C-alpha cells in the first residue's frame, strides 16, 4: 500500500482527503504544519508527500526546501494559490507536481499515481537516457552521443544518483546521502562541487553551459528527464 504524508492545516479538507485516499489504498498520515511534518519524516518512511503552501508558521515552500535538504521523497504541492510564480518556485525547490485548489480528489489520486510511476525511475540493471546522455546501470557504462566516457567511481555514482532522481533538485547533503553507500568517503564529502565540475568536463558538450548536470542556485543540482 502507498504511504502518504499530508501536510494540511484545514482540518475539514484534511479529513475528507484522508478518508478518500484511505479508501483508495493510500495509507495517509496527517501533519498540521511544517515542524510536525519534519518530525514525521524523521521517524517514519513515506512514498509521497502532499504539501500545502499556505501553512501556519513555516510555509509550504520553505518546508519543501527543508525536505529536499534531507529526503528525495516525491512531493506534490497542493494549494489555493494558483499563481505561476508559486508553481515555478515550488518546482525549482524540488516539488514533483503542483495542484491548485479546488480540485477533484480523483485528480489528486491520479497525480499521486503518475508521480510515483515517474519516481520509480530506472532499475539497477536498466538504462537511463536524456538527450545524448545514456547510462547503463548494470554495465556501469556512460555514453555521450554514442561515445563511451571513462568516469571515476565517484563520478559514476554521482551521475547515477542524479539520474535515479531525474527531474528533482538534489541538495549537496542529499547527494552525499545517496552516494555514501556506494563510493563516498571523507574526501568526497569535502569536494562534491569539484566532482560535479570534473563530471561536467567529461559529459557536457559545453561545461560552461551544462545541458545535463544543472545547478539550481541555492538548492543543489538537477539532471533533467529530457535534456
| Segments of the chain assigned to CATH 3.40.50.2300 | 2-120
pLDDT by residue (tens digit) across 15-60? 999 999 999 999 999 999 999 999 999 999 999 999 999 999 999 9
Domain with CATH 1.10.10.10 in the chain: 127-222
Sheet holding 48-52, edge to edge: 26-31, 2-7, 48-52, 75-79, 97-100
CA atoms within 13 A on the CB side of 54: 8
Closest-CA residue to 196 (of 166, 157, 144)? 157
At residue 211, the 3 state secondary structure works out as coil
pLDDT band at 213 (very low <50, low <70, confident <90, very high): very high
Per-residue pLDDT reduced to its tens digit, 144-160: 999 988 887 778 889 99
Cell digits of residue 120: 520509480
- Binned at pLDDT 50, 70 and 90, residue 124 comes out as low
> Packing angle between helix 105-120 and helix 11-23, nearest 10 degrees?
60
CA angle at 99 for the pair 98 and 102, rounded to the nearest 5°: 160
95 vs 210, residue with greater confidence: 210
In the chain, the percentage of residues whose pLDDT exceeds 90 is: 49
CA 36 to chain centroid, in Å, comes to: 20
CATH of 2-120, one of 3.80.10.10, 3.10.20.30, 3.40.640.10, 3.40.50.2300: 3.40.50.2300
Q: How far apart are CA 66 and CA 58, in angstroms?
A: 10
CA distance 103 to 19: 16
Check whether domain 127-222 has CATH 1.10.10.10, yes or no:
yes
DSSP class of 150? -
Residue 212, all three cell numbers: 545535463
Amino acid at each position: 500500500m502507498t504511504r502518504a504524508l499530508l501536510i494540511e492545516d484545514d482540518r475539514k479538507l484534511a479529513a475528507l482527503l484522508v478518508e478518500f485516499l484511505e479508501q483508495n489504498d493510500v495509507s495517509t498520515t496527517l501533519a498540521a504544519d511544517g515542524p510536525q511534518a519534519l518530525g514525521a519524516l524523521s521517524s517514519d518512511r513515506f512514498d509521497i508527500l502532499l504539501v500545502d503552501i499556505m501553512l501556519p508558521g513555516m510555509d509550504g515552500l520553505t518546508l519543501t526546501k527543508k525536505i529536499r535538504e534531507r529526503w528525495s521523497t516525491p512531493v506534490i504541492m497542493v494549494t489555493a494559490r494558483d499563481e505561476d510564480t508559486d508553481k515555478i518556485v515550488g518546482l525549482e525547490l524540488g516539488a514533483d507536481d503542483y495542484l491548485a485548489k479546488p480540485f477533484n480528489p480523483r485528480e489528486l489520486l491520479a497525480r499521486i499515481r503518475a508521480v510515483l510511476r515517474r519516481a520509480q525511475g530506472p532499475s539497477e540493471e536498466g538504462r537511463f537516457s536524456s538527450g545524448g546522455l545514456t547510462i547503463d546501470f548494470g554495465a556501469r557504462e556512460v555514453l555521450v552521443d554514442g561515445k563511451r566516457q571513462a568516469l571515476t567511481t565517484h563520478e559514476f555514482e554521482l551521475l547515477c544518483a542524479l539520474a535515479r532522481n531525474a527531474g528533482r533538485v538534489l541538495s549537496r547533503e542529499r547527494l552525499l546521502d545517496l552516494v555514501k553507500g556506494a563510493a563516498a568517503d571523507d574526501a568526497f564529502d569535502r569536494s562534491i562541487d569539484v566532482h560535479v565540475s570534473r563530471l561536467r568536463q567529461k559529459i557536457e558538450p559545453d561545461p560552461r553551459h551544462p545541458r545535463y548536470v544543472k545547478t539550481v542556485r541555492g538548492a543543489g543540482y538537477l539532471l533533467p528527464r529530457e535534456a
